[in-house]
Structure 1
């Protein structure tokens, strides 16, 4: 169980994490003005706040990765995830850290 406010250890992405990332893909593509044919969640970390921040390492081509910060509101708020930040130009080996 993650500690409130603390960042969890990196874990392999699950289908749920891929689903969360897929829901913010369009937000990222409009901010980057590009389309990603590959959009595969590799690793993630989570941070429990008033909702959950997810830090997700996404593979977007053979050698190109992006880190996403996605905020998922509490379930009773009935809203989808929001892309709160992203970092481009990442490699598979770059650590997934808070940003």
Structure 2
């Protein structure tokens, strides 16, 4: 991993799914739609003053979204925040920095 750069893409874990679940309502509000499927597939992380997570999420019907979620440092006691997202992604699309 490059210092300050994102990690290699890894399979999603239970922790990744938990982070995605915590920002699901933020995404639904921005997209003005509800997701019956919301499954984290893979992720990359980047340590900053906290952690940026780049998460590929399966939202059903062969549609994927890429989320950029910021998790502040533990002592700040703040929930994860959806900072950016990309729509109309496919399963094979590379999860890059955005």
Q: TM-score, normalised by structure 1?
A: 0.96
The count of aligned residue pairs is 98
2:14 aligns to what? 15
2:39 aligns to what? 40
1:72 aligns to what? 71
Distance (whole Å) between structure 2 residues aligned to residue 64 and residue 95 of structure 1: 14
Question: What secondary structure, in the 3-state scheme, does the structure 2 residue paired with 1:92 have?
Answer: coil
Q: TM-score, normalised by structure 2?
A: 0.97
Q: Is the counterpart of residue 91 in structure 1 residue 83 in structure 2?
A: no
User: Superposed, which structure 2 residues align to 1:42-61 within 5 Å?
Assistant: 42-61=41-60
Equivalent residues of 1:54, 1:71 under 8 A apart: yes
Distance (whole Å) between structure 1 residues aligned to residue 78 and residue 2 of structure 2: 23
Q: Deviation digits for residues 31-51 of structure 1, max 9, x if unmatched?
A: 000000000000000000000
Q: Is the counterpart of residue 28 in structure 1 residue 38 in structure 2?
A: no
Q: CA RMSD of the aligned region, Å?
A: 0.9
Note the C-alpha offset of 1:62.
3.3
In structure 1, runs of 5+ residues without a counterpart are none
Equivalent residues of 1:64, 1:90 under 8 A apart: yes
Distance (whole Å) between structure 2 residues aligned to residue 96 and residue 30 of structure 1: 23
Note the C-alpha offset of 1:4.
4.3
Q: Segments of 4+ in structure 1 off by > 2 A?
A: none
In structure 2, runs of 5+ residues without a counterpart are none
